[in-house]
């Protein structure tokens, strides 16, 4: 005969097993019927940013492939922490996803003293979609047509030049430029790139490192002057612009990457389906061409490759931020 205590423990164990089985069955059912309603893509940047524009293009094709609507929700602010935290705390059912960059998943752990999410533990990697190279632009009134001339002017006028930022790539690029070139630059931070760029065009800020998509139309319209790209080598997206290193700033190689993530614990079947559909879209030559005109070097890979990449980028951005002398805020 079992004692009352042992009988109670056995009943509890049986109940727990039944509950676990029911939960697994429910998760399997949800995965098999997914998607059955609209999917929300949360972005850490404002409408009009490079990430926003490229995501809207990809999402049109993703909506068709999945047979449901795609809703874009821009949650700009706090260097992307608002959007990342929102998705990290969402249900891992495949209906709330984060389309983000190195801002939230590479730089923030080393830029912010208090982070409300973990870029590795709190997310499920889904697919990388490409890189968004940045370029250095200045207001036309700045008396410099090359990076060398800008450095010379900055050294002759310490504290007179300022740089705007609307993302971690812009923050780190500006600080790296100031550090490596030995300049005294005033940093003026913004919630996102479009308002930062507006103030550069208005002459309230001297310059900015901005993604090609957001900045190029204003360069072509002569509202801004482009001096260089931030990647180690020239980019085929703007082949006439030198790299910062080519222009004389040593050890300068910074690029923004973009990818899709879900909350931690997403069913593998949903991740596999999303990855397959996103890769089909990004790898189509005509879509890659469209994205290239938007300033994006498009390519993709497996969820596992994105997970490995995130860990590698955390190491890289820790070094970039440390070398630039940026202190956590």
Mean pLDDT calculated for residue range 32-51: 92
Q: Which of 135, 322, 131 is nearest to 246 (CA)?
A: 135
Mean pLDDT calculated for residue range 1-14: 57
pLDDT at 25 over 50: no
Residue 148 and residue 277: Cα distance in Å, rounded? 45
Phi, psi (5° rounding) for residue 131? -120, 150
Residue 260 and residue 126: Cα distance in Å, rounded? 5
Query: What was the pLDDT predicted at 15?
Result: 56
38-42, 78-82, 195-199, 215-219: which has the highest mean pLDDT? 38-42
Query: What was the pLDDT predicted at 14?
Result: 60
Q: Name the token pair of 316.
A: 């890289």
Query: What was the pLDDT predicted at 58?
Result: 96
74 in the Ramachandran plot: left (φ > 0), alpha (ψ -120 to 50) or beta? beta
Lowest mean pLDDT among 4-18, 43-57, 189-203, 289-303: 4-18
The residue with greater pLDDT, 93 or 15, is: 93
Mean pLDDT calculated for residue range 195-218: 93
pLDDT at 4 over 70: no
Helix (H) or strand (E) holding 149: helix 147-156
Q: What is the pTM for the complete model shown?
A: 0.82
pLDDT at 329 over 90: no
Residue 313 and residue 131: Cα distance in Å, rounded? 13
Q: Which residue reads 């590479």 in tokens?
A: 106
Mean pLDDT calculated for residue range 35-40: 97
Query: What was the pLDDT predicted at 293?
Result: 86
Q: List, for residues 237-280, the tens digit of each pLDDT value.
A: 889 999 999 999 988 989 889 999 999 999 999 999 999 999 99
- Cβ atoms 50, 295 nearer than 8 A: yes
As a dihedral over the C-alpha atoms of residue 238, residue 239, residue 244, residue 250, rounded to 10 degrees, the angle is 150
Query: What was the pLDDT predicted at 17?
Result: 55
pLDDT at 101 over 80: yes
What is the chain's mean pLDDT, rounded? 90
Query: What was the pLDDT predicted at 118?
Result: 97
Question: Which residues, listed in sequence order, are joined to residue 163 by a DSSP beta bridge?
Answer: 187, 207
- Percent of the chain having pLDDT more than 90? 72
Mean pLDDT calculated for residue range 84-109: 97
- Cβ atoms 259, 125 nearer than 8 A: yes
DSSP 122: T
Q: List, for residues 150-165, the tens digit of each pLDDT value.
A: 999 999 999 899 999 9
Going by pLDDT thresholds of 50, 70 and 90, the confidence category of residue 139 is very high
């Amino acid at each position: 005969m079992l004692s009352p205590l042992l009988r109670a423990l056995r009943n509890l164990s049986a109940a727990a097993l039944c509950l676990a089985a029911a939960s697994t069955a429910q998760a399997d059912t949800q995965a098999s019927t997914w998607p059955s309603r609209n999917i929300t893509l949360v972005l850490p940047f404002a409408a009009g940013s490079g990430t926003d524009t490229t995501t809207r293009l990809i999402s049109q094709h993703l909506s068709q492939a999945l047979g449901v609507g795609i809703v874009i929700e821009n949650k700009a602010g706090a260097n992307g922490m608002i959007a990342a935290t929102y998705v990290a705390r969402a249900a891992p059912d495949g209906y709330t996803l984060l389309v983000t960059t190195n801002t939230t998943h590479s730089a923030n752990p080393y830029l912010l003293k208090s982070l409300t999410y973990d870029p590795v533990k709190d997310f499920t990697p889904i697919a990388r979609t490409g890189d968004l190279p940045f370029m250095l632009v200045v207001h036309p009134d700045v008396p410099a047509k090359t990076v060398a001339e800008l450095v010379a002017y900055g050294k002759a006028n310490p504290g007179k030049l300022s740089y705007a930022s609307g993302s971690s790539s812009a923050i780190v690029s500006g600080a790296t430029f100031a550090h490596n070139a030995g300049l005294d630059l005033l940093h003026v931070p913004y919630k996102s790139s479009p308002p930062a760029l507006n103030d550069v065009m208005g002459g309230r800020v001297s310059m900015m490192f901005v993604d090609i998509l957001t900045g190029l139309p204003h360069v072509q319209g002569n509202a801004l002057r482009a001096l260089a790209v931030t990647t180690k080598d020239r980019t085929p997206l703007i082949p006439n612009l030198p790299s910062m290193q080519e222009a004389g700033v040593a050890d300068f190689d910074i690029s923004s990457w973009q990818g899709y993530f879900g909350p931690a614990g997403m069913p593998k079947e949903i991740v596999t389906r999303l990855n397959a559909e996103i890769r089909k879209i990004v790898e189509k030559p005509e879509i890659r061409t469209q994205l290239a005109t938007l300033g994006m070097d498009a390519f993709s890979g497996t969820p596992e490759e994105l997970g490995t990449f995130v860990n590698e980028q955390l190491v890289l951005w820790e070094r970039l931020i440390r070398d630039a002398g940026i202190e956590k805020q």
